[in-house]
Amino acid sequence: MRGWAWAAIDAVLILVFAAIGRASHDEGTVITGVLTTAWPFLVGAAVGWALWWAARRSPASSLRAGLVVWPATVIVGMALRHLTGRGIAVPFIVVATLVLGVFLLGARALGIRANGR
């Protein structure tokens, strides 16, 4: 799969993360609400992808690429939430870090397993 396809998969997984979070807090899953919750993390993923693209030492499907995109997603996402007055409580940081790690690295692990690499 090409890099853009993995970027799209990451974006979908970030949207799923936002939708699950909103639903678990009874905030609803209306698309505008999900996008409002997800946008800082989508920007973070874009930063991660830009960093990976600049270095491009491994395929987009690799865990190595995920290890660039995942922390950028969380760090930039949390920074943007803070800068825009949104909450960044420690439990949220922990949950977001773990869930996004499972999603972004797990998708790549499944892709690697499916391709037998």
At 107 the pLDDT is: 94
The per-residue pLDDT for 1 is 64
pLDDT of residue 28: 73
Q: Identify whether the C-beta of residue 45 lies closer than 8 Å to the C-beta of residue 92.
A: no
CA distance 111 to 117: 9
Report the pLDDT value the prediction gives residue 62, as an integer from 0 to 100. Answer: 84
Q: Which one-letter DSSP state was computed for residue 79?
A: H
CA distances from 70 to 4, 49, 63, 75, 113 (A): 16, 10, 10, 9, 19
Task: Write down the pTM of the prediction.
Answer: 0.90
pLDDT tens digits for the chain (117 residues)? 677 889 999 999 999 999 999 998 887 768 999 999 999 999 999 999 999 999 877 777 788 899 999 999 999 999 999 999 998 999 999 999 999 999 999 999 998 888 875
pLDDT of residue 61: 72
Annotated domain spans of the chain: 3-115
Report whether 81 contacts 40 (CB < 8 A): yes
Report how far residue 88's alpha carbon sits from residue 104's, in angstroms, rounded to the nearest whole number.
20
87 closest CA partner among 45, 40, 46: 40
